[in-house]
Amino acid sequence: MSTEEFRNEQRFVTELYARLDDLRDQAERAMKEALLADGEGFQARLERDVQVAEQSGLISALNAGENGLCFGRLTFSDGRDHHIGRIGIRRDDAERTPLVLDWRADVARPFYLATGYSPMGLRRRRHLTTRGREVTALHDEILDLTDAERTGHEGADADAVLLAALDAARTGRMHDIVRTIQAEQDHIIRSPHRGVLVVEGGPGTGKTAVALHRAAYLLYAHRESLARRGVLIVGPNPAFLGYIGEVLPALGETGVLLATLGELFPGVRATATDRPGAAAVKGRASMAEVLAAVVRDRQTLPETVPAGAGEDSEVLPEPAVEIDHDDYGTLLLDRSMAYEARDRARSTGLPHNLARPYFAFRIIDSLTEQLADRLGGDPYGGPNLLGPDDIAQLGKEIATSATVHAAIDTLWPALTPQQLVAGFLADPTHLSEAEAELIRRPAGAGWTVADIPLLDEAAELLGYDDSAEQAAAERERQERIAYAQGVLDLSEGSKSYEFEDQESEYLAAHDIIDAERMAERQEEADHRTTAERAAADRTWAFGHLIVDEAQELSAMAWRLLMRRCPTRSMTLVGDPAQTGDEAGLGSWERILAPYVGDRWELVRLGVNYRTPAEIMELAAGVLRARQPGFEPPSSVRSTGVRPWVRAVPAAADLAGAVAAAVAEGMPAEGRLAVIAPRGLHGVLAGALPGVRAGAEPDLKRSVVLLDPRQSKGLEFDTVIVVEPADQQPSDLYVALTRATQRLGVLHTGRLPAGLG
């Protein structure tokens, strides 16, 4: 083994980190200079904010990419030699030559795609293993068999690096796969930006990792557009987002918004849980029509006849709302008047709140006509005795009347999405009695994940009338300008600068800056990142959308997500065989047909990198019991350790049996998960070290307790599945395929079909 090769690579890595430190120092100095800049006016402040944001993003990328910065080296037959790393770094020379290439660059593709049959111009491919800033191992692959040169680090097994990564102990956080991307994964990662790409794969096929690396690649290849509009990644639960949260920062990308469906309505966090069956009802596509009908129901007409009305007439009086006016007595807002106003407002096609002013204006006009006829009408049918100015004054009085606006609020109220949906769930309408009973809940109850798409739909139907906020902002701006003008007026005549050739003329403050520019300088700058601004804005349109476990989402959830990405640039990741949510569509055709027809691409990952063959064989039997033709992904490795299944005599013994199994199966390094139905968590938590029932699982702890849905997308060294018969087949399949090394099953009753 050549120590000289180690020395050469160590010298290179040392130089690389020295350059990284230098770049970081430069960025920090540039950011400080920008913050201290004393520019005037909006443009100067904008340039300063952009500079601060750019340098802050660069510093974050450099910090994130530091661990394992360089992991490979390509030696081409034509003499070229390139190191490959998580982020690209150039030398500080006149030519700005690359010191290490970004793994996403086109020239880096042979690192992932070259084979002995198709070497893509490579002579050899080197894998570097580092710990911190130290090189710990080298592994060379010879791709040009005619090359007689040997380094002493050649390996007979081309998959040694991959298998070492797969066998490594879990840490409670997903690691990037940038060192071990396989050819089929690379093709997906670099697929074109536009359109909908569906990545389907069974457990352990790396589909989530592929989607995350695709996000990093798209941000690299389409930096200008995607950095401005952002990328949204939607995961199934908070534990999953915590699990994948370090992957993109490790690849130098920190501007991506990660969220669950329950976090996609600003100002609302879904913390409650639906009763069984409720989520399925709320998730149906028909709920959009139901909510539209609920909104129309809030656009009402008078229903009762005022007391004493019509006593002196043989004609039946109309239902009306009585409006007491201090100066002119009682006005009547009758049904025909309200019907005409409602018809006019609806004809605008605007959402409820935006159409409301049209309703109000028509009501005010009608009441003004009524009052004008009362005060200036000629009983013999002649012209109204009031002039236009008199009628206009009456209109102003009507328009500013609190009682008039109270009547308008009764017939066409301004509504928030929360008010509308909470009212609907407290008293569901336009549903069957059975459906209404499933979703009915008292007012003031917490929001569930299935409520979030309903709130988003309600927001679309209602619209948001921000005219009052805009008017307030403009008033505040004018006040700032007036204050600034006052300051300038006070300074007028005071001497600021005197020019030698103009002894009698002085340059005052108002000659340098006007009041409007002075007021602008007092406005607070928005230093939020793209992801932070997008998270606070329900109407934000993302440049790309990635959805993990996409098969689990309801039709209403997809309506929400399609609004978030109107360009339909999406990567959807999932496995229909793992559909467990009662509202989940479970079919790519059902998800996409309403929005893009058949204009989407499906790619399948068929190799299981995580789950050993022995475990996969047991798990596949659960689905084969219902689907005889089911074929799981093919595992790339076998551990020689078969899963065990043990019966527990009684339910009272279950907690003790789990504790004993945990003590027996606890890996020396890595993580162990107990996956059990939620109803057992209270009993089991007391038997597990450091576990608290009902708390969000901390995946960095050595032992965690999860239900099957929480375990989606996660992986552990050892898994113990409890009471498999109490879990749906798809959920059980998920639970059984989370282990990378060992699997055990504990049960008190019968075993489900396919597991026995």
Which residue positions form the known binding site? 201-208
Give the span between the Cα atoms of 648 and 745, in whole angstroms.
10
Give the span between the Cα atoms of 480 and 118, in whole angstroms.
69
Helices and strands in the chain, H and E counts = 28, 23
> Taking a C-beta distance cutoff of 8 angstroms, is the pair 675, 719 a contact?
yes
> Taking a C-beta distance cutoff of 8 angstroms, is the pair 724, 641 a contact?
no
Q: Where are the beta strands (DSSP E) in 570-724?
A: 570-574, 600-605, 607-608, 634-635, 644-647, 672-675, 703-706, 716-722
**CA–CA–CA angle 714, 166, 732 (5° rounding):** 35
Both tokens of 738, joined, read 């989370």
Give the span between the Cα atoms of 115 and 610, in whole angstroms.
23
Give the span between the Cα atoms of 352 and 53, in whole angstroms.
39
Please state, in angstroms and as integers, the Cα–Cα distance from residue 332 to each residue in 303, 340, 497, 631, following that order: 13, 15, 69, 73
> Taking a C-beta distance cutoff of 8 angstroms, is the pair 143, 125 a contact?
yes
Amino acid, single-letter form, for residue 64: A
β-pair type (122-131, 70-76)? antiparallel
For 511-545, give one letter per residue: b (16+ CB within 10 A) or e: eebebeebbbeeeeeeeebbbeebbeebebebbbb
**CA–CA–CA angle 485, 489, 491 (5° rounding):** 120
Q: Tell the residue number behind the tokens 């002649």, with chain if given.
A: 382
Amino acid, single-letter form, for residue 753: A
Q: Which residues are annotated as part of the binding site for ATP? A: 201-208
Give the span between the Cα atoms of 424 and 415, in whole angstroms.
12
Please state, in angstroms and as integers, the Cα–Cα distance from residue 589 to each residue in 30, 302, 438, 547, 592, following that order: 51, 46, 28, 16, 5
β-pair type (320-325, 329-334)? antiparallel
* H-helix or E-strand spanning residue 472: helix 467-491
Both tokens of 568, joined, read 């339909």
Q: HSE of 388 in the Cβ direction (CA atoms, 13 Å)?
A: 0
**CA–CA–CA angle 746, 751, 754 (5° rounding):** 115
Burial of 408 (0-12, 13-18, 19+ CB in 10 A): buried
Please state, in angstroms and as integers, the Cα–Cα distance from residue 246 to each residue in 88, 174, 178, 249, 250, following that order: 19, 7, 13, 6, 6
